[in-house]
Amino acid sequence: MDVDGSPSAYRSLVWALHEAARREATVVAACVLDDRDGLPSAAATAAARARVDAQVLRAIGETGVHGRVRTAALERPVFDALSGAARGGDLVLVTGTGKRLLRPAVPRPPARRLARGA
This prediction has a pTM of 0.68
Report yes or no on 59 lying in a domain: yes
pLDDT, greater one: 36 or 2 = 2
Cα 68 to Cα 53, 74, 112: the distances in Å are 13, 19, 26
| Number of compact structural domains in the chain | 1
CA–CA separation, 97 vs 111, rounded Å?
36
Report yes or no on 61 lying in a domain: yes
pLDDT band of 107, cuts 50, 70, 90: low
CA–CA separation, 94 vs 79, rounded Å?
12
**Which residue in 116, 85, 91, 115 sits closest to 105, CA to CA?**
91
Report yes or no on 107 lying in a domain: no
Report yes or no on 74 lying in a domain: yes
User: According to the model, what pLDDT value does residue 98 have?
Assistant: 59
pLDDT band of 56, cuts 50, 70, 90: very high
Report yes or no on 2 lying in a domain: no
User: According to the model, what pLDDT value does residue 90 have?
Assistant: 53
Report yes or no on 117 lying in a domain: no
| 92-95 and 98-101 strand pairing | antiparallel
Average pLDDT taken over every residue of the chain: 76
Report yes or no on 86 lying in a domain: yes
**Which residue in 75, 76, 56, 74 sits closest to 66, CA to CA?**
56
pLDDT, greater one: 103 or 74 = 74
pLDDT band of 53, cuts 50, 70, 90: very high
The whole domain housing 14 covers 7-101
CA–CA separation, 80 vs 74, rounded Å?
10
pLDDT, greater one: 95 or 13 = 13
Helices (H) and strands (E) in the chain, counts: 3, 4
Task: State the amino acid at position 7 in one-letter form.
Answer: P
Task: State the amino acid at position 77 in one-letter form.
Answer: P
Report yes or no on 37 lying in a domain: yes
